Amino acid sequence: MQAKLIVDKDFTIGEVDKRIYGSFIEHLGRAVYGGIYEPGHPSADEQGFRGDVMELIRGIDVPIVRYPGGNFVSGYNWEDGVGPVELRPRRLELAWRTVEPNLFGLGEFVDWCRKAGTAPMMAVNLGTRGPEEARQLVEYSNHPSGTYWSDLRVQHGYKAPHAIKTWCLGNEMDGPWQIGAKTAEEYGRIAAETAKVMKWVDPSIELVACGSSALGMPTFPEWERTVLDLSYNEVDYISLHQYYGNRDKDSANFLAQSMGMDAFIGSVIATCDYIQAKKRSKKKLHLSFDEWNVWYHSNEADSRIEPWSVAPPQLEDVYNHEDALLVGSMLISMLKRADRVKMACMAQLVNVIAPIMTETGGGAWKQTIYYPYMHTSIFGRGTVLVPLVESPKYDAKDYTDVPYLDAIAVHNAEAGEVTVFAVNRHLSESLPLSVDLRSFGSFRLIEHIVLESDDLKAANTKAAPDRVAPHTRGNAVVESSGSGLAASLGKASWNVIRVK
Ligand code: AHR
């Protein structure tokens, strides 16, 4: 068994838009309350933002964070979350069957983003509301002053506009679970009209239309075709959402699922380009993969949660080693289409299907999936190179010809570095790999980072927060020819090989 990766600096896919390393904070479970916001916590600042969580987030360098939902946004009145906290209403929150105290809202989120070194990506409610409330929200957020809504923001203590550039037009509007779900025709029209007035208020903003909630939705890809036919000129991105799980306890099949993601991305690009052709448009639509992750571990526990409490422990997946491998492959899938995938949000950031876990009142730690997310965000910036991959393959339950090697290389010309990200999907054997870097001249190895474990189900918990953690004892070496690398990738491992 031998695998090979050939890359050349002149054969490029595209520049990485750093926003593909975005994430997501929803008013759901303990993402906000007990996650990023916990007044009284020993690490909290004067606004109640947890410092320990912020430090872990800074470690990933998250460039953009989507807010406030998710399903939550489809029943949300943004006005409930601004102004004096003591006047804000407690509301029944129907999407997740909780009580929302509205102690944290738009202003707090924007402040938190600035402190965390990230940018806000705001979603508007197109479930129970429409263009009117959306344009008012843009006016409140982005108009300097001198009008009712912008002056209200000033009155609330924010003289400078929030300057929110990126906006989502609703959330998963095709899903029957969505408050105010719509047909593609209904949504396409409302999305176009909402986009129009939002951009009339602030022409500098960019807008994401909802695509299907998942590749497996019966409406996919007809939904995309119809929605874009009705809104192509008004919007800038179409969203993709996809979660995977290993319910059948079939790890070989589980790790192959990023091939479904490759196909999903390809089909959405094709649909966008079909509409572009149909409209004889010069505009190329880009993709915002604004929800993606592994999500299944917590499903059963969630079904036992009593409704109508504040911030219950919902969607608290405890991630294991194999989850980190699939997350690595999902990141590779997005890098492979860096030419069109310009934004993406790991769903979510803290506690709720997240790379960071906290104990309310206690500590914070890194889940296994933190590592591939951090590695790609830190080292995966620059130009993605076309990956010529030769690899032995296997057949799984839902996918055939699955390459054991999943790999991509990113060239950071500014730093003079090339980073290879590689997963060995083989569950019991290591995979010898040669990397041909023919056009890069001479280089030296900086490091070979490896995330591996003898137990695919090993997880990080409060009691053992570092059970699965990367090391830099990878065995990659520069070949004697000087133009390539040789390594043996451990069974079921995530690898980051950096050269300069
Ligand atoms: O991220 C959790 C939920 O998954 C979001 O609220 C929703 O958009 C999706 O179904």
Q: Check residue 20 and give its pLDDT.
A: 98
**pLDDT less than 70: residues of the chain:** none
Q: How many CB atoms are closer than 10 A to CB 362?
A: 12
Complex confidence, ipTM: 0.99
**Contact call for residues 485 and 435 (beta carbons, < 8 A):** yes
Alpha-carbon dihedral angle through residues 329, 333, 335, 336, given to the nearest 10 degrees:
130
Q: Give catalytic residues, as residue numbers.
A: 172, 291
Backbone angles phi, psi at 105, to 5 degrees: -145, -155
In eight-state DSSP terms, residue 137 is: H
- 454 to 320, 398, 432: CA distances (angstroms): 12, 25, 18
Cβ–ligand 1 contact at 29 (below 6 Å): no
Residue 239 token pair = 């969203």
The one-letter amino acid at 24: F
Q: Residue 496: name the closest of 467, 474, 469 by CA.
A: 474
**Contact call for residues 426 and 491 (beta carbons, < 8 A):** yes
Q: Check residue 1 and give its pLDDT.
A: 83
Cβ–ligand 1 contact at 348 (below 6 Å): yes
Q: Which of 71, 239, 288, when mutated, tests ligand 1's pocket best, judged by the most ligand atoms within 8 Å of its CB? A: 71
Which residue has the CA at smallest separation from atom 7 of ligand 1?
A: 70
Instruction: Please list, residue by residue across 92-102, b when 16 or more beta carbons sit within 10 angstroms of its beta carbon and e when fewer do.
Output: ebbbbebebbb
How far, in Å, CA of 241 to CA of 210, rounded?
Answer: 9
Cβ–ligand 1 contact at 349 (below 6 Å): no
Cβ–ligand 1 contact at 347 (below 6 Å): yes
Q: Check residue 451 and give its pLDDT.
A: 98
User: Phi/psi class of residue 163: alpha, beta or left (left: φ > 0; alpha: ψ in -120 to 50)?
Assistant: left
Q: Cα 147 to the chain's mean position, in Å?
A: 35
Q: Where are the beta strands (DSSP E) in 132-193?
A: 166-169
Sheet of 477-478, strand order: 388-390, 3-6, 431-436, 484-489, 477-478
Q: What is the DSSP string of 186-247?
A: HHHHHHHHHHHHHHHH-TT-EEEE---SSTT-TTTTHHHHHHHHHHTTT-SEEEEEEEE--T
Residue 141 token pair = 């957020």
Q: Check residue 482 and give its pLDDT.
A: 77
Cβ–ligand 1 contact at 291 (below 6 Å): yes
Cα 8 to ligand 1 centre (Å): 39
For residue 32, what are the contacts with CB-CB under 8 A and spacing of at least 6? Answer: 25, 26, 104, 311
How far, in Å, CA of 403 to CA of 260, rounded?
Answer: 13
Q: How many helices (H) does the chain have, and how many strands (E)?
A: 11, 25
384, β-bridge pairs: 14, 410
First and final C-alpha spacing in the chain: 28
Which residue has the CA at smallest separation from atom 2 of ligand 1?
A: 70
Q: How many CB atoms are closer than 10 A to CB 265?
A: 21
Q: What is the pLDDT of residues 51-94, one digit of tens each?
A: 999 999 999 999 999 999 999 999 999 999 999 999 999 999 99
Q: Residue 150: name the closest of 158, 139, 159 by CA.
A: 139
How far, in Å, CA of 423 to CA of 491, rounded?
Answer: 9
Which residue has the CA at smallest separation from atom 4 of ligand 1?
A: 70
How far, in Å, CA of 179 to CA of 85, rounded?
Answer: 26
Q: What is the pLDDT of residues 313-323, one digit of tens each?
A: 999 999 999 99
Which residue has the CA at smallest separation from atom 6 of ligand 1?
A: 70
**Contact call for residues 356 and 34 (beta carbons, < 8 A):** no
